[in-house]
Amino acid sequence: MDLHDIREDYSKRELSEAECDASPIAQFERWLNEAILAQVNEPTAVNVATVGEDGRPNSRMVLLKEVNGQGFVFFTNYHSRKGRALANHPFAALTFFWPELERQVRVEGRVEKLDAAASDEYFESRPYTSRIGAWASEQSTVIAAKSMLVKRAAAVGLKHPLHVPRPPHWGGYVVLPERVEFWQGRPSRLHDRIQYRLDGGVWVKERLAP
């Protein structure tokens, strides 16, 4: 298969500055709701890119769990590779991609930990087995065999048969946006790109060349 021949011309929709909300958060919520209603595959899946301790970028997919007036919220193990990266360099870039709608959203900003109460509240809403997994997995570390993970999970279940408390090394982050771009695919690769840029506390909307 020749990868040079794989291409698709996007033509479903277009995007103008005038139709975009004054707030990038409100605009994102509109697009996210449209993605959910369109039943796109994993509408809350987002690529989170960070800068590691070695100064190199790395990225992975997570699930967005909340969007609010502050920004974009996800949860993870603080000792994971992404957690260590954020401890050293508290900035991240997010990318949402909804190919069914020929859309993507890019977010850049500072990252802060959620307070303990917010992390506790979300952790309590997770399924029992997921809460056990948060204790059993030393995320991003090398393990000798999968059986070790299963044994650890069983031990956690025996210790906490009814209520699993949140591990102190697990919780939420919020990405505080400083730049947000909405990308709508268009024919002939003349895509619509509307960027929101935070300037002195005010969001500035501008069109970018594709």
What confidence tens digit (pLDDT) does each residue in 143-165 have?
Answer: 999 999 999 999 999 999 999 99
pLDDT of residue 13: 95
- DSSP H helical ranges for 12-145: 24-37, 81-88, 116-125, 128-136
Mean pLDDT, to the nearest integer, of 192-198?
98
Position 147 in a domain: no
Per the prediction, the chain carries an average pLDDT of 96
104 annotated ligand-binding residue: yes
Query: Whole domain around residue 95: which residue ranges?
Result: 12-126+168-208
Question: Is 81 within any annotated ligand binding site?
Answer: yes
Query: Which tens digit of pLDDT belongs to each residue from 74-101?
Result: 999 999 999 999 999 999 999 999 999 9
Whether residue 63 is annotated as binding a ligand: the answer is yes
What is the per-residue pLDDT for 123?
A: 97
Q: What is the mean pLDDT of residues 11-31?
A: 97
Q: What is the pLDDT of residue 205?
A: 98
Question: What's the rounded mean pLDDT across residues 179-183?
Answer: 98
**CATH code at 58?**
2.30.110.10
Number of structural domains, the chain?
Answer: 1
Mean pLDDT of 185-189: 96
- Asked if residue 138 belongs to a domain, the reply is no
Considering the domain boundaries, does residue 176 fall inside one?
yes
- Domain membership of residue 204 (yes or no) is yes
Confirm whether residue 189 is marked as ligand binding: yes
Quickly state the pLDDT bin for 1 (edges 50, 70, 90). Answer: confident
pLDDT at 55: 95
Does residue 140 have a known ligand-binding role? Answer: yes
The CA distance from 48 to 98, in Å, is: 15
Report pLDDT for 207.
Answer: 98
Q: Is 183 annotated as a binding residue?
A: yes
Task: Tell if the pTM clears 0.75, that is, is over it.
Answer: yes
Q: Is 147 annotated as a binding residue?
A: no
Q: Domain for residue 87, yes or no?
A: yes
Is there a contact between 17 and 182 (Cβ–Cβ < 8 Å)?
no
Q: Is residue 6 part of a domain?
A: no
In a domain, 145, yes or no: no
Q: Is 76 known to sit in a ligand binding site?
A: yes
Evaluate whether 156 touches 164 at the Cβ level (below 8 Å).
yes
Q: Is 82 labelled a binding residue?
A: yes
Q: Read off the pLDDT of each residue in 43-62 and give the average, rounded to a whole number.
A: 97
The answer to whether 97 is annotated as binding is no
Is residue 202 in some structural domain? Answer: yes
The answer to the question of whether 193 is labelled as a binding residue is yes
Tell me whether residue 23 is annotated as binding.
no
Tokens of 47: 């690529």
Tell whether 65 is in a known binding site.
yes
